[in-house]
Structure 1
Amino acid sequence: MLVLIGVLLVIVGFAIRLNPLIVVTVAGIVTALLGGMNPAQILDSFGTGFASSRSVTIFVAVLPVVGIIEFFGLQEQAKILIG
């Protein structure tokens, strides 16, 4: 029954408008600790979940590239090309 404290943490975190990424991560860690997992198992679970979600991995890889391209004038070059 203590494992459900993670759900309560998510509800409270969202209600007081905290960063959702931090709220869900902390709730997951707390739930895993209460469920009997050690820190190495928790880290392994997070890593496996992150690596198995290809869309997240692609997003993390592509986002910095788009930022660099924008920094070096992608919009200006597009305006020149269209014009």
Structure 2
Amino acid sequence: MWQLAGIAVIVIGFALRLNPLLVIIAAAAASGIAAGLPPLAIIAAFGKAFNTNRYVSAPWIILPVIGLLERAGLRERARDLIAASARATTGRLLLSYLVLRQLTAAVGLTAVGAHAQTVRPLVAPMAEAAAARADPGVT
């Protein structure tokens, strides 16, 4: 019965709005400890799950690269590029992004251009720059 302690950890962690990845790891560790597994067996179970689901490692590679690009000024470069373009409006920019997403989804690439990889670092600053160029009162 104590093996279900992980469920309580999940409920409490999500109620406190903690990081979901940390909550799930803590719940798995709590269930393993409650089941009487030694710490090395719990870590081995995490490792086995990681190896069987290698796609989980993709965000750990992509997100730091995006962070480095943002730190190097990717947002500012995107904003400057759109501010210098006379024909780029917010509507045209967002429409072109929509067309790009639809084309990539049509060929099965649904994860390309998602929020974390494209919208936040590129599309949002470009749209803000286009809106600010059209109406300087927009901030």
TM normalised by structure 1 equals 0.75
Alignment RMSD: 2.2
* Cα contact 1:51–1:57 (8 A) shared by 2: no
Instruction: State the match for 1:32 in structure 2.
Output: 32
- 2: CA distance, partners of 1:51 / 1:14: 26
Comparing 61-70 with 46-55, greater Cα deviation is found at 46-55
- 2: CA distance, partners of 1:51 / 1:57: 10
Instruction: State the match for 1:80 in structure 2.
Output: 81
Deviation, structure 1 residue 67:
1.0
- 1: CA distance, partners of 2:26 / 2:76: 42
Deviation, structure 1 residue 80:
2.3
Post-superposition CA distance 1:15-70 (Å, at most 9, x none): 3x141333322221121122232111111111222333333211101111111111
TM normalised by structure 2 equals 0.49
- 2: CA distance, partners of 1:58 / 1:13: 25
More helix per residue: 1
Comparing 69-78 with 25-34, greater Cα deviation is found at 69-78
Instruction: State the match for 1:47 in structure 2.
Output: 47
| Structure 1 residues 76 and 39: alpha-carbon distance in aligned structure 2, compared to 1, 3 A threshold | same
* Greater C-alpha Rg: 2
Instruction: State the match for 2:11 in structure 1.
Output: 11
| Structure 1 residues 40 and 71: alpha-carbon distance in aligned structure 2, compared to 1, 3 A threshold | same
Comparing 6-15 with 63-72, greater Cα deviation is found at 6-15
* Structure 2 unpaired stretches of 5+: 86-139
- 1: CA distance, partners of 2:12 / 2:30: 14
